Chain A
């Protein structure tokens, strides 16, 4: 459905000179430094899949969205949507792809402020060539699903920012594109609206078979919605199902953290040689322990805890956010100047 092949983008694009004099005169330099936005990004998204693009700020998420929309020409590589090159065969993907860019409250002025929600949606449906009766049916369905039916005749400018964002989500329900790109779709939303939006995204995927590419900084969102995710920072870092990535990370992570709440005093020497580190503090008549231990010593820790009146015990759960933070910080470190020196053997970690 979507295939990104060696997608590379540098800003500004490399300057093509008629003669390459670099080998003759070493003082000739490019006028501006090239900033990589994407480096050899490769991945495939299957039909009907919800695919998460996760990366820190400046990772290249918006550049990817722009390339998919033929607004940016990649320096190298291709992006295929349904087998069509997003740049060279742009005409063949027009109307099949719809993008809601993040952070844009008025969707690039597509929505007219002093016009009702319904008339705005009808106008966009007409641009997409949806017959009037069908458009009306879809608009009613979308507004019902998003709990916006009572806002149908309201001027768009009278809606709150969160409601406007929900109205954007009505568009893929009405236009029913094959590919939907959502660039941070819940960025301004409260918890309740965010959950409504999540349900709509899942509906789109399950009910209409829409292939969805989701970029977000909310890792809970990615974990809840995405079938697969790609963690990248200009270049690919990891790819897979969120659960699989978490399990892999869990297997790699040797140290565990246990949070224990108990009654009475604790003899920390009992944990010597078993726990790597232990923190003890008291609060409201309870004793709290933070125990850091190796995975294979968990059994021994639990055995010691049977001697105490344990009220509560929590095992630190690893989330996609932990995996993301670990992998991205590692990547940022490896690509930093210190990391370069470590790789060359000049410095140690």
Chain B
């Protein structure tokens, strides 16, 4: 009974967050219009870019039949996987934390609540983009358990990284986020988001091999683009899940260390 009432209570907290964030979001109508315009331009340019470019690489090894599919599926997976980016930092380093820390609502519900609208909105946008890609660019996608697990594993990995980064930032009072920045920029440059890693200069290829996003994109393209089943990608996926598990543990420990250090230094909440 206690469990059910706690769930109901958490759902109410989530609803309250989503409602207030939706109010704020739609109060900026001009911003919303600009967001749609930039999204439209983005889709258009990516489509044109992908059609114009010829890549001297074996695209079919990634499960996608042409470069357009390679690029579009990569960008969908990247958008989905990066949804939790900055979620922990925005919660703990935000100005609202000190008050909410003492509210009776559970911290997990507050954490999800604070990020809920942003994640839901971006998820909606990614889905809309996917539909546009399918309808207007002839993209073919496959949906199976493998796709879901690859994306979930990627999301957890980014979440772990964010925990790691937030712990570091809380402890050091850093306003910059070099870790997330580095991961994001290298994800775009070396992981094969826009072009296959073998197109990179030789000296950059080792970085591509150790970058987790390379494997997320590879497995994502194989499952979503090539229709590979869970069983077919299992060996690589197991490695990925192990790395994710280790990163989650490391992220949690770093976050806990940073949080306690900030409480000792008196820097939590920056009042």
Chain A residues with CB under 8 Å of chain B are 9, 11-13, 37, 62-63, 65-66, 69-73, 93-95, 97-99, 101, 104, 106-110, 112-115, 119-120, 123, 126-129, 155
Contacts and interface: CB of A to CB of B under 8 A. Distances in A.
Given A66-B266, A110-B100, A115-B24, A73 B16 contact: no
B103 A95 contact: yes
Given A13-B265, A94-B102, A129-B104, A108 B95 contact: yes
Contact of A94 (B23, B27, B104): B104
A37 B103 CA distance: 26
B211 to A, nearest CB: 35
A9 to B, nearest CB: 8
Contact of A72 (B12, B27, B263): B263
Nearest to B19: A123
Interface in B174-211: none
A73 B110 contact: no
B24 A127 contact: no
Pick from B9, B15, B94, B271 the residue with the most CB of A within 10 Å.
Answer: B271
B27 A114 contact: yes
Contact of B264 (A12, A99, A128, A129): A12
Contacts, number: 105
Contacts of A62: 271
B271 A126 contact: no
A128 B103 contact: yes
Interface in B9-49: 9, 12-13, 15-17, 19-20, 23-24, 27-28
A29 B198 CA distance: 54
Contacts of A98: 102
A101 B15 CA distance: 27
A256 to B, nearest CB: 43
A11 B13 contact: no
Given A11-B266, A115-B27, 20 more contacts: A9-B266, A13-B265, A62-B271, A63-B266, A66-B266, A70-B101, A73-B260, A93-B102, A95-B104, A101-B271, A106-B95, A108-B98, A109-B94, A109-B95, A110-B96, A112-B20, A114-B28, A115-B23, A129-B12, A129-B105
A93 B101 CA distance: 11
Contacts of B110: 127
A155 B269 CA distance: 26
Given A108-B98, A110-B96, A129 B9 contact: yes
A62 B269 CA distance: 12
Contacts of B105: 127-129
B218 to A, nearest CB: 40
Contacts of B20: 112, 115, 119-120, 123
Contacts of B269: 66, 71, 108
B23 A101 contact: no
Contacts of B260: 73
30 contacts: A11-B266, A63-B266, A66-B268, A66-B269, A69-B101, A71-B266, A71-B268, A72-B263, A72-B266, A73-B263, A95-B103, A99-B102, A101-B271, A108-B95, A108-B96, A109-B94, A113-B24, A114-B24, A114-B28, A115-B23, A119-B23, A123-B16, A123-B20, A126-B12, A127-B13, A127-B100, A127-B105, A129-B9, A129-B12, A155-B27
Given A99-B99, A108-B97, A37 B266 contact: yes
Interface of B (DSSP majority class): helix
A127 B103 contact: yes
Contact of A73 (B19, B101, B264, B271): B264
Contacts of B15: 126
A128 B110 CA distance: 11
A110 B21 CA distance: 12
B13 A126 contact: yes
A69 B264 contact: no
Contacts of A97: 102
A170 B266 CA distance: 28
Contacts of A101: 98, 271
Contacts of A71: 98, 101, 263, 266, 268-269, 271
B268 A11 contact: no
A59 B57 CA distance: 68
A263 to B, nearest CB: 57
A37 B266 CA distance: 10
Contact of B99 (A72, A110, A114): A110
A70 B101 CA distance: 9
Nearest to B261: A13
Contacts of B268: 66, 71-72
A129 B27 CA distance: 26
A66 B268 CA distance: 9
Contacts of B263: 70-73
A244 B28 CA distance: 56
